Amino acid sequence: MKISLNWLKEFVEIPVDPHRLKADLIGVGLNVESFGAAGDDLIFEIEVTTNRPDCLSHYGTAREVATLYRQRLKPLEYTLRESSAPASSEASIEILDPELCARYCGRVIQGVEVKPSPEWLKQRLEAVGQRSINNVADVTNYVLMELGHPLHAFDHARLTGHKIIVRRARVGERLRTLDGVDRTLGAADLVIADAVRPVALAGVMGGEDSQISGSTRTVLLESAWFEPVFIRRTSKSQGLHTEASHRFERGADIEMAPKALDRAADLIVQLAGGEILRGALDVYPAPQQRNPIMLRRSEVQRVLGAEVSWEEIERFLRALGFEVERRGTDGWRVTPPSFRLDVSIEVDLIEEVARHYGYNRLPSRVKPAPARVTGSSVREVELKISETLVGIGYREIIPSPMIDPDENARFTDRPPVVLANPLSQEASTMRSSAIPSMVRALKWNLDRYRNDLKLSEMGRTYTNRAEGLPEEKQVLTLGLSGRRQGASVHGTEEGIDFFDLKGDVEALLEAFDLPGLAFEPAECLYHEPGLGGRFVAGQTPIALLGKLKESLARDYKLRQEVWLAEVDLDFLLKASLRHPSFKPISKFPPVERDFSLVVPETTPYSSLEAAVRGLGLEETQSIMPVDRRRSEELASGTIPGGHASLLLRVTFQSPTHTLASEEIEAASQRVLEALEPLGVRLRA
Amino acid sequence: MTLNSSMTIDVKVRNTLVDLGVLNASDVRALFQEALHTAENELMEFSRPGPSDVSQAAKVLRDRWLARKGGIVSLIDRNWLKPAPEELKPAVGAEFNALRQLVGAMLSTESLLMSFENAANEAMADLPGRTPRPTAPPDLTLPGRRRPLGSVHPVTQVMREIEDIFLGLGFSIESGPEIESVYYNFEALNIPESHPARDDWDTLYVDSQTLLRTHTSPVQIRAMEKHGAPLHIICPGKCYRHDNPDSTHATMFHQVEGLAVDTDISFADLKGTLDFFARKFFGEKIHTNFFPSFFPFTEPSGDLAISCVFCDGKGCRVCKDSGWVEVMGCGMVHPEVLRHGGIDPAQYSGWAFGLGVERFAMMKYDINDIQLFHQGDVRFLEQF
Ligand SMILES: [Zn+2]
CB contact under 8 A, A423 and B207: no
Interface residue of B275, B375, B380 to substitute, partner A, most A CBs within 10 Å:
B375
Whether residues A326 and A384 share a domain: the answer is no
Check CB contact under 8 Å for A444 and B373. Answer: no
Distance separating alpha carbons of residues A330 and A298, to the nearest angstrom: 7
Q: What's the pLDDT tens digit per position in A439-472?
A: 999 999 999 999 999 999 999 999 999 889 999 9
Rounded Cα distance, A533 and A545, in Å: 6
Q: Which residues of chain B neighbour A363 with C-beta distances below 8 Å?
A: 268, 271
- Closest partner residue to B251 (CB to CB) among A365, A368, A423 is A423
Statement to judge: residues A91 and A215 lie in one domain = yes
Q: Are strands B172-173 and B231-240 parallel, antiparallel or unpaired?
A: parallel
Mark whether A462 and A604 lie in a shared domain: no
> pTM (2 decimals)?
0.83
pLDDT, residue A101, reads 96
Reference A359, options B239, B305, B209, B14; nearest CA is: B305
Residues A173 and A318 in one domain: no
pLDDT number for residue B130: 54
Q: Which helix (H) or strand (E) holds A565?
A: strand A563-568
The answer to whether the Cβ–Cβ distance between B194 and A232 falls below 8 Å is yes
- Per domain, the residue ranges of chain B are 9-124, 154-381
Does residue A259 sit in the same domain as residue A307? no
CB–CB contacts below 8 A, A to B: 265
Mutate to test the interface with A, among B184, B270, B294 (most CBs of A within 10 A): B294
Residue A510 lies in a domain: yes
Between the CA of A643 and the centroid of ligand 1 the distance, in Å, is 73
Which residues have a Cβ under 8 Å from the Cβ of A187 and sit 6 or more positions away?
A168, A169, A170, A171
Chain B positions in Cβ-Cβ contact with residue A391 (cut-off 8 Å): 149-150
Instruction: Among B199, B244, B272, select the one facing A366 at the smallest CB separation.
Output: B272
B 302-331 residues with CB below 8 A of A? 302, 320
Q: Which residues are bridge partners to A182 per DSSP? A: A176
- Report d(CA A102, CA A230) in Å as an integer: 12
Q: Tell me, what CATH number does A218's domain have?
A: 3.50.40.10
Q: Cα B102 to the chain's mean position, in Å?
A: 49
Are residue A237 and residue A297 in the same domain, yes or no? no
Closest Cα of chain B to A160: distance in Å? 35
> Quick check: is A584 in a domain?
no
Å from CA of B326 to ligand 1 middle: 11
Task: Tell whether B380 is within 8 A of chain A (Cβ).
Answer: no
Let me know whether A392 and A346 are in one domain: no
Q: Which residues of chain B neighbour A28 with C-beta distances below 8 Å?
A: 292
Peptide bond into B132 cis (omega under 30): no
Instruction: Give yes or no for a cis peptide into B230 (omega within 30° of 0).
Output: yes
Task: For residue B249, report the distance from its CA to the centre of ligand 1, in Å.
Answer: 21
Domain finish residue from A328, A360, A392: A360
One pLDDT digit (tens) per residue for chain B, 384 residues: 334 456 788 888 888 888 888 878 878 888 888 888 888 888 777 766 555 567 777 788 888 888 888 889 989 988 888 888 888 888 888 888 888 888 888 887 777 776 666 544 444 454 555 555 556 788 888 888 888 899 999 999 999 999 999 999 999 999 999 999 999 999 999 998 888 778 888 899 999 999 999 999 999 999 999 999 899 999 999 999 998 999 999 999 999 999 999 998 999 999 999 999 999 999 999 999 999 999 999 999 999 999 988 888 888 887 888 889 999 999 999 999 999 999 999 999 999 999 999 999 999 999 999 999 999 999 999 999
Same domain flag for A446 and A545: yes
Ligand 1 center to A48 CA (angstroms): 24
Q: How far apart are CA A85 and CA A4, in angstroms?
A: 38
Residues 265 through 294 of chain B touching chain A, CB cutoff 8 Å: 266-269, 271-273, 275-276, 289-294
Query: Based on the domain organization, do A240 and A269 belong to the same domain?
Result: yes
Smallest Cα distance from A426 to chain B, Å: 12
Q: In the Cβ-directed half-sphere of A369, how many Cα atoms lie within 13 Å?
A: 25
CA angle B160, B163, B168 (to 5 degrees): 125
What was the pLDDT predicted at B124? Answer: 47
Residue B227: predicted pLDDT: 93
Q: What is the domain-level CATH number for residue A60?
A: 3.30.56.10
Residues of B in contact with A49 (CB under 8 A): 293-294
Contact A304 B266 (CB under 8 A): yes
- Same domain for A554 and A650: no
Q: What count of other Cβ atoms lies within 10 Å of the Cβ of residue A629?
A: 18
User: Which residues are within 8 A (CB) of B344 and not within 5 positions of it... i.e. 6 or more apart?
Assistant: B338
Domain boundary among A227, A254, A283: A283
Number of structural domains chain A divides into: 5
On chain B, the residues whose CB falls within 8 A of the CB of A440 are 376
Query: Is there a contact between A347 and B334 if contact means CB atoms under 8 Å apart?
Result: yes
Q: Given CATH 3.30.930.10, say whether it is the number of domain B154-381.
A: yes
Q: Which stretches does DSSP call E strand in A48-150?
A: 82-86, 92-95, 101-110
In the three-class reduction of DSSP (H, G, I as helix; E, B as strand; rest coil), residue A35 is classed as strand
User: Domain of A639: which CATH number?
Assistant: 3.30.70.380
Torsion of CA A262, A267, A272, A273, to 10 degrees: 70
- The confidence score (pLDDT) of residue B119 equals 43
- Same domain, yes or no: A618 and A639: yes
Task: Let me know if residue A53 belongs to a domain.
Answer: yes
In a domain, A300, yes or no: yes
From the candidates B54, B59, B291, B367, which should be mutated to test the interface with A, based on the most A CB atoms within 10 A? B291
Which of B17, B299, B383 is the best substitution to test chain A (most A C-beta atoms within 10 A)? B299
Residues with pLDDT less than 70, chain A: 371-376, 684
Contact A454 B150 (CB under 8 A): yes
As a whole number of angstroms, the distance between CA A336 and CA A340 comes to 6
Probe site for chain B from A360, A364, A595 (most B CB atoms < 10 A): A364
Residues with Cβ within 8 Å of A148's Cβ and at least 6 positions away in sequence, in order, are: A53, A54, A55, A56, A57, A59, A60, A247, A252, A253, A256, A339
Domain-embedded: residue A500: yes
Alpha carbon distance A104, A96 (integer Å): 11
Same domain flag for A227 and A197: yes
Q: What is the CATH number of the domain that holds A525?
A: 3.30.930.10
Q: What is the pLDDT of residue B120?
A: 43
Q: Is residue A626 part of a domain?
A: yes
d(Cα B93, Cα B85) in Å, to the nearest integer? Answer: 12
B56 touches chain A (CB under 8 A): yes
Domain of A87 in residue numbering reads as: 82-283
Contact A441 B163 (CB under 8 A): no
What is the reported pLDDT for A603? Answer: 92
Contact: B179, A417; criterion CB under 8 Å = yes
Of B8, B52, B240, which has the smallest distance from its Cβ to A587's Cβ? B52
